[in-house]
Structure 1
Amino acid sequence: MPSYVFPPLAIPTLAVAGSADLFPVHRVYCVGRNFADHAVEMGHDPSKEPPFFFQKNPDTLVPSGSTIAYPKMTHDLHHEVELVVALKSGGEDIPVERALDCVFGYGVGLDLTRRDLQGEAKKAGRPWETGKAFEDAAPCSALVPAETTGHPAAGRIFLNVNGVLKQDGNLNQMIWKVPEMIAILSTLFRLAPGDLIFAGTPAGVGPLVKGDHLAGGVEGVGEIALTIA
């Protein structure tokens, strides 16, 4: 038996809806600017950009219904509601037509972003981790198995802040669909069981302040709620 120099940290997990089972998380990938209206909102031309990806750390996941602290070192925390794709298998160079075979299920996530720190990193040509991978940066609902949801290619995705609708789109507006995301991502990384993919956000992202309550969802998948302490 190995002897650890200190007790290993627990494996991050997500609940599985309707079950006592837990989904062990391996990596968390995010697709940038995957809705055309959000790409335009952020000052980019979606017709000219191939997909790009960044990561959040698995231990930044927090369950729906949580209350989290307003993050340190930012004055411009933003919300981004997203479909979350959970993989049960992986590999490299996965063909598009086989990509959905890798999917365990789906959830609803929030890609919380320290926009001011992300903006500073962009201007300096530096990585985005300080803007994207901080503590509690990836709230996520319980996962619903694909055998229950099917593979949603359309359906409303929305977010309210303090009861006011801020983001309202449809999954059919995604530039890169779920099978394409998986296939392209598998050319860059060896995907594995337990990987999550945050699939991009519609337009309407904006700032949050202490005391805000967020509530949103993806039609046919689930809902998410979060409070900023």
Structure 2
Amino acid sequence: MYLSLFMFSGEHRVEYVQRERLYLIRLQSAFRNRLPPGQFPYPFWHDEAKWGVYQATNCILLWVDPKTARIVIGQFTERGEGSAVVASKPLSPKFDGNWMWMDKEGRIQPRVTLFDGLFRQHNPYLPKLDFTYRTLALRMRDAQCENCHMPNNPFPMRRLVIMHTPAHAAGEIGRLMKAVREDRMPLDEAGIEQPLEPGLKRALLESGSAFEALVKAAKEWEAAQRD
């Protein structure tokens, strides 16, 4: 959902960083700032400085665990060696305050944040996933999760977990469930972790568990199609 926002020339460099005990792959890149708005996971331009950094990106950093050969961290930077692979004129779109919207054809945008951006159209779990996500979204709203877990990070969290779209929720549902079970959310005005009211917690855990199970089943079905 994020890596496809960049262009690559194929130029790269690999090194082992002893301090981190990880391999670092540097990919020369450039940001695709002229994509239609619905192709971005959310309106990056809501923050002018953040949007500027994206547009200036010239390198993608992938940190790889040598024990598993898996990427554990992905980063972008404007401080890579050389210039971006493609020179593009910076754009300055205006943020209208909407994280999601309907396009002229009546389709929900950003399109890439919907389930059809994650799963095949004929995945048998899609109908139930859509229903359970809607239920979960209502429970998250009741629990005021959207007060914090939004792209603009209203309560500056060191690690922002975004939950406002189906695709983001599918990727972070495990983290959400763990935090709710351990009474680590919400945060009060002083930033101190507080338990949810019992009824809200129970409802959120029930809807979250159903959604988490379906996400797992849908992913397993997708994996089976590739075997």
Please confirm whether the aligned pair reaches a TM-score higher than 0.5, indicating the same fold: no
Higher relative contact order (CA 8 A, sep 6+): 1
Report the structure, 1 or 2, having the larger helix content. Answer: 2
Higher gyration radius (CA): 2
User: TM-score by structure 1 length?
Assistant: 0.26
